[in-house]
Every structure is written in C-alpha cells, then in structure tokens.
C-alpha cells in the first residue's frame, strides 16, 4: 500500500505547484492520475520514489518485509533500500541503449546485489533465468540478446516493464508510459501493466482518459496542484471538461482551403 | 550587386586593413631580425645540407628498429594510462556525476593541463624521474587528460538524464550507475578519442625522445649532434613511416567503430 498525505511543493517565488495532495492506493488497484499539463501529476509521481522532495507532507510505503517508510523523511541509504522494490516506468524509453535487452532488465536488481558483484556484471544463472522469465511475460524473450538501441519504441517500453517485473516490486509507478506510442502499442502496454496490479499497487500518470477508463480501476484527477476527483475511472464529459478546461470536446472549425477540389469520397477516407 | 563588379568601391574597404597588416608584419620581422637575405641564404644552405644527408645510411637501419619500437611503446603506455586517467577526470568534471565544486576543480585542472605543452611537463618530470622513457610515459599520460578528459566530460554531460535517474530509482548507487549506464554509453567515444590520441602521442614521443625520453627521437638528435647526417636521415625515414603508419591504422580503426546507440 502507498499512502500520500498532504503533499505540498512551491516554487521559490511562492507559486504552489502541489497544494495538499492526498490519496491512498491499495494492492489490487491500478490508479490513473489525469490532469492538464502543468497540473502537478508528474511532480506528484516524482515525489513517490524520492526523485523530488516535497516541501511538506508524507508518503508512506511498505518495503518487502512489510515495514513502513516515509519517503519524505528518509536517509539516502534507506531511500536506496526502498527504491529496490519500487518499479518505475518512465515516459519515453530511458534504457541503456548500448547494452543488451537482458542486461537492461538486470539493471532492475542493481540495488539488491552487492556493488562488487555488479562491477563485473556478475549475475547468477538463476537471476538470468528470472530476467528471461520477465522478458517472456512481456513477450520479447526472443530479443534478449539484441542491442536495446535497435528496438522500436513499443519494444523498449516492454523492456522497461520487464525491468520493473524483475525487481519484484512492492509498488509500481509509471510516468506517462504510453505517451509516445501508437494506439495499438499503447493498448499492449496497458494490458501488460494491468495484471501487475493484482499483487501490488500501481500508480500511473496518463494523458489518455479513454485508456484509463478502460484499464484503470480508479482515476485521480489533479488540477492546479489539488485532487479534484478520485473515483470511478469512467468520466463524464462534464467531468473531463472540468479537468482539462472548457475547450475539450469542441472540435475547432478550420477554414479549409485546398488547392484541388476535394471529392466527398476522399473526405471519408480522411 | 552585379556578379562581375570589379569597381574600386567594392574593394576599398580592404585597403586600410591590408596596409595595417603589412605594417605590423614588417615591424614584427624587423624586431625579431627576420630578413629576406637570411631566408635566401638559409634555404640554399638547407638544400646543400639535404645533399649531405643523402643517401640514407642503410646499415644503420637495423639499429633504428629497437629505438623506434621503444618510441611506439612509450606512446602506447602513455595512451593507456592517459585514457584511464582521463576517464576518471572526465567523470569528476561532469556536472551530472559530480558536485559542482568537484566539477569546477576538475575542469580547472583539465584546462590547466591543456595549457601546458607536453614538452614542458617532460622537462619538469625529468627533475624527478631523470632522463628516459619513464618521464616520457608520464608526460604523455598527463597530456591525455587535457584532450580526452575534456571531450569525454562533455559526452557524459550530454547523456540522457532520465536514463541516469531511472538507474537511481531502482536503488543503484553511483558506482553501479557508472558501470551500467555511463561506461557502455561513452565507450565508442572513448575508443575513438583514445585512438586519435595514440596517433598524436606517437608524434609527441618522437619529439619528447629528442628532449630526453629516449627512443627514435633520441637517435635522430644524437646522429645530428655527432654530425652523422646519413644516419639522421635514416632515423627521419623511420619516423615518417612510423607516424604515417599509425595515422592510417588509427583512421581505419576509428572509421569502423560502431556508434549505434551512442552520442554523435
């Protein structure tokens, strides 16, 4: 479980970026965070694994032994310990492009093995087997030895998920995992993330309300640093307008001037 | 403006700068005593001298091989130790791996090294190590830092920051981040810069040899001083082959480095 209480964060000029964000995510939940750009979604997410320190508030997470840690009041060493079991999937594919797919998955365990062993890429056979299993779960085990830089965007995001699975995490965080993928790849990624939430809490930031409606179990909407909605993933149009502003849903009328007359049939194709 | 406009108006803006440049050049030549007569007599003497050197002393050729090999070894060892030192310095000098004061200190040292020619480093080092290859190797190693260190530090600073963040967020420490994230990504650049530096170090090891680091440079200097011009010519030929050979080798190797997934 992860419990976020009263997170605040301000810019030096006093502008509030996060203004008392609170929510709880239990195991079995796949929570999608929605909100317009600049609303504070990614900021909240970065706080969850300690990449950003909020001004006040607390974030309680369990480690693998069930002990509770407050990420906001934690030493560097403890943070590294807690992070071992927090899987993070970033927007884009921030893998090490010149390492093999398998090695990129292995990186997920770096926090859990000794530094000396990692200096020589010394993973055991059973660890390699587990990494392969993780790759099988995302259906790219056949590419384990390929150079990561040669993979397509969707494949790279699957490697990132395999890395998170290999961590055997107690919490999974995803920062816009499908933002630069085409619709079909995006669906595949959502289908891969969804079952992970059966055993652990999953929190993700998304820009696609239709995706969260379909795959998430709950949606939290953030606007101007405040939680304005927390509940059913299926949002009404009115609610969406509230989240994204008035313009959503209104198709803008363009003055369309084509040099060649466009036939009706062609318009249908468009 | 027309294409073929040769009017005075078009060119008059060059007149004053050219007159100024000519005046300054003339002044500089007078101050350091460079005259046309000296150039003429010098050139004539130079050609005559070349005549004395010809033909090369072929029997001395076999004597040159060992010193030439020594020069190559000095360059090789200097490059190996130098590139290792440079990687360390580059990491200290990269803002995404080091605290700002460490970074600024490292950048200052790199800049300082670059401003001191290798030959001066060698002269300073001979006080401690005496004449010989050891001082040469250390001078060349230090010489790498200014170039490879600076270039690599910039490559490291260009690495994807989220890639490094994503390694930190699985609980990896700094050393692990370097071994798994930084080193693989900078490897093609490192190899390419190191090969290029080896090429430079071959030339420098000849030069340093003449000053006292031993090797083929010393043979050349020694032959000249002993007035054995045919022997000196042989040494020159060996040096040319050596330098040209390593240049080609380094070029071919660098061209074949796979830069897939790397920066640049």
Q: pLDDT tens, B21-30? A: 999 999 999 9
Residues belonging to chain A with any Cβ–Cβ distance to chain B shorter than 8 Å: 49-51, 80-84, 86-88, 90, 92, 94-99, 103, 107-112, 115, 118-119, 121, 147-150, 160, 163, 167
Q: What is the DSSP string of A54-108?
A: -SEEEEEEE-TTS-EEEGGG--HHHHHHHHTTEEEE-SS----TTSBHHHHHHGG
pLDDT at B3: 65
Average pLDDT for residues A66-71, to the nearest whole number? 85
The C-alpha atoms of residue B142 and residue A108 are separated, in whole angstroms, by 38
Looking only at the bridges linking them, the beta strands covering A202-205 and A30-34 are parallel
Taking only the tens place, the pLDDT of each residue in B37-61 is 888 898 988 888 888 887 888 888 8
CATH architecture of A2-85+170-269: 3-Layer(aba) Sandwich (3.40)
Positions of CATH 3.40.50.300 in chain A: 2-85+170-269
Those residues of chain B that have pLDDT short of 70 are 1-3, 258-264
Distance from CA of B106 to the nearest CA of A (A): 24
Which run of H or E residues covers position B174? helix B174-177
User: Which domain, by its residues, includes B30?
Assistant: 8-52
pLDDT at B28: 93
- pLDDT at residue A91 above 70? yes
pLDDT at A251: 45
Say yes or no: B169 and B233 in one domain: yes
pLDDT at A250: 47
Taking only the tens place, the pLDDT of each residue in A168-223 is 999 999 998 888 888 888 999 999 999 999 989 999 999 888 889 999 999 999 98
Beta carbons of B170 and A108 less than 8 Å apart: yes
A50 chain-B contacts, CB cut-off 8 A: 169
The mean predicted confidence, pLDDT, of chain A is 85
Say yes or no: B102 and B208 in one domain: yes
pLDDT band at A254 (very low <50, low <70, confident <90, very high): very low
Among the listed residues A236, A166, A193, the one whose alpha carbon sits nearest the alpha carbon of residue A29: A193
Q: With contact defined as beta carbons under 8 Å apart, do A47 and A59 qualify?
A: yes
- On whether residue B111 sits in a domain, the answer given is yes
Q: With contact defined as beta carbons under 8 Å apart, do A204 and A124 qualify?
A: no
Q: With contact defined as beta carbons under 8 Å apart, do B113 and B142 qualify?
A: yes
CA B35 to chain centre: 32
Say yes or no: B34 and B131 in one domain: no
- On whether residue B137 sits in a domain, the answer given is yes
Mutate to test the interface with B, among A88, A111, A121 (most CBs of B within 10 A): A111
pLDDT at A270: 45
Say yes or no: B48 and B123 in one domain: no
Beta carbons of A88 and B180 less than 8 Å apart: no
Say yes or no: B233 and B106 in one domain: yes
Q: With contact defined as beta carbons under 8 Å apart, do B163 and B181 qualify?
A: yes
Say yes or no: B203 and B73 in one domain: yes
pTM as predicted: 0.80
Place of tokens 């480690």: A63
DSSP 3-state of A175: strand
Which run of H or E residues covers position A136? helix A125-137
Instruction: Compare CB distances from B180 to A80, A96, A167 and report the shortest one's residue.
Output: A96
The C-alpha atoms of residue A181 and residue A153 are separated, in whole angstroms, by 7
pLDDT at A114: 87
Burial of A31 (0-12, 13-18, 19+ CB in 10 A): buried
How many domains are contained in chain B?
Answer: 2
């Amino acid at each position: 479980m992860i419990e976020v209480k009263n997170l605040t964060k301000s810019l030096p000029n006093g502008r509030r970026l996060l203004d008392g964000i609170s929510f709880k995510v239990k195991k079995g939940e796949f929570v999608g965070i929605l909100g317009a750009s600049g609303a504070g979604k990614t900021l909240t997410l970065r706080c969850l694994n300690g990449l950003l320190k909020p001004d006040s508030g607390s974030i309680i997470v369990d480690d693998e032994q069930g002990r509770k840690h407050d990420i906001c009041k934690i030493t560097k060493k403890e943070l590294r310990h807690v992070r071992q079991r927090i899987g993070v999937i970033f927007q884009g594919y921030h893998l090490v492009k010149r390492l093999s797919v398998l090695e990129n998955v292995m990186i997920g365990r770096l926090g859990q093995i000794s530094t000396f062993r990692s200096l020589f890429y010394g993973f055991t056979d059973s660890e390699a087997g587990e990494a392969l299993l993780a790759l099988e779960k995302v259906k790219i085990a056949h590419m384990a030895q390929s150079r990561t830089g040669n993979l397509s965007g969707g494949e790279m995001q699957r490697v990132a998920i395999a890395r998170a699975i290999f961590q055997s995490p107690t919490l999974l965080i995803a920062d816009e995992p499908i933002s630069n993928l085409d619709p079909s790849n995006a669906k595949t990624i959502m289908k891969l993330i969804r079952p992970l939430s059966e055993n652990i809490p999953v929190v993700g930031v998304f820009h696609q309300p239709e995706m969260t409606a379909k795959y998430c179990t709950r949606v939290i909407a953030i606007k101007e640093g405040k939680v304005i909605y927390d509940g059913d993933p299926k949002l009404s149009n009115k609610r969406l307008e509230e989240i994204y502003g008035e313009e959503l849903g209104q198709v803008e009328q363009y003055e369309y001037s084509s040099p060649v007359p466009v036939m009706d049939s062609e318009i249908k194709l468009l | 403006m027309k294409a073929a406009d040769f009017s005075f108006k078009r060119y008059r803006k060059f007149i004053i700068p050219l007159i100024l440049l000519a005046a300054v050049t003339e002044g500089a030549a007078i101050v350091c005593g460079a005259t046309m007569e000296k150039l003429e007599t010098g050139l004539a003497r130079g050609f005559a001298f070349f005549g004395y050197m010809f033909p090369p002393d072929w029997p001395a050729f076999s004597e040159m091989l060992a010193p030439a090999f020594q020069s190559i070894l000095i360059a090789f060892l200097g490059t190996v130790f130098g590139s290792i030192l440079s990687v360390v310095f580059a990491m200290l000098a990269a803002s995404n791996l080091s605290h700002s004061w460490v970074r600024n200190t490292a950048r200052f040292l790199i800049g300082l090294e670059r401003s001191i020619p290798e030959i001066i480093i060698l002269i300073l080092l001979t006080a401690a190590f005496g004449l010989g290859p050891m001082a040469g190797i250390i001078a060349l190693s230090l010489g790498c830092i200014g170039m490879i260190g600076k270039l690599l530090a910039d490559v490291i600073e260009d690495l994807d920051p989220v890639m490094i963040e994503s390694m930190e967020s699985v609980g990896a420490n700094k050393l692990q981040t370097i071994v798994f994230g930084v080193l693989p990504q900078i490897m093609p650049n490192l190899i390419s810069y190191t090969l290029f530096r080896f090429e430079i170090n071959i030339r420098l090891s000849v030069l340093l040899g003449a000053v006292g680091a031993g090797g083929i440079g010393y043979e050349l200097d020694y032959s000249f001083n002993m007035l054995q011009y045919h022997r000196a010519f042989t040494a020159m030929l060996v040096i040319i082959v050596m330098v040209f050979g390593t240049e080609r080798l380094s070029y071919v190797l660098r061209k074949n480095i796979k830069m897939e997934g790397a920066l640049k």
